[in-house]
Amino acid sequence: MSIVGILLAAGRGARFGGDKLSAPLRGSFDDVAHGTPIGVATCRHLVQAIPQVTAVVRPEDVALARLLRDTGANVIACPRAHEGMGASLSCGVSAVADAHGWVVMLADMPWVRPSTIALIAEALAAGADIAAPSFQGQRGHPVGFARRHFAALSALQGDEGARSVVATHANAVTLVEIDDPGVLRDIDTPDQA
């Protein structure tokens, strides 16, 4: 069964002040060294967990595309990235339309452990419709989607991402209990890096 990781790396980082995913992390943790670019750290964890990863970037973000490619991802430039996360997710899923499922990872979440990502992929492979990690009762990221959601995911627009797909199928979400606070932690501002 082919499960593909989709790394959403096409945001503008407006609250961060721009170029967020190339910004260096201030600390080190697990296998991530101090100074590693945020997007590279996240991509590295996704590639460790899922061998086939497609990273979605803005067309003009050539430097980030190179960094993510060097980390092991197949990189695609989304011409509609300016529309928001939904458009980027649509581009990513459409680029690997033959997959049996997709694990969608936000590129500004470098603290999610590879083992957590692997558990979400395993849940999909075992038949979950939608799978997400849960830490201390809170649903986090990444979120996995079975093939039957291709039409809905590939039709996404705007900046909402897949929230509407998850909400429509809330009863079909498999929560995977994990001990990984990284699933709730993203980076919006420089002081959070």
Helix axes 62-71, 38-49, angle to 10 degrees: 30
What pLDDT does 160 receive?
78
- pLDDT, averaged in runs of 10, over the chain (193 residues): 95 84 90 93 98 97 97 97 95 97 98 98 97 97 97 90 92 96 93 88
Question: For residue 95, what pLDDT is reported?
Answer: 97
C-alpha 130: how far from chain center: 14
pTM of the predicted model, to two decimals?
A: 0.96
pLDDT on residue 141: 97
Q: 150 to each of 36, 99, 129, how far by Cα in Å?
A: 33, 9, 12
CATH of the structural domain 3-192, one choice from 3.90.550.10, 2.60.40.10, 3.40.50.300, 3.40.50.1580: 3.90.550.10
Report yes or no: 17 and 29 within 8 Å, Cβ to Cβ: no
Q: How far apart are CA 132 and CA 109, in angstroms?
A: 14
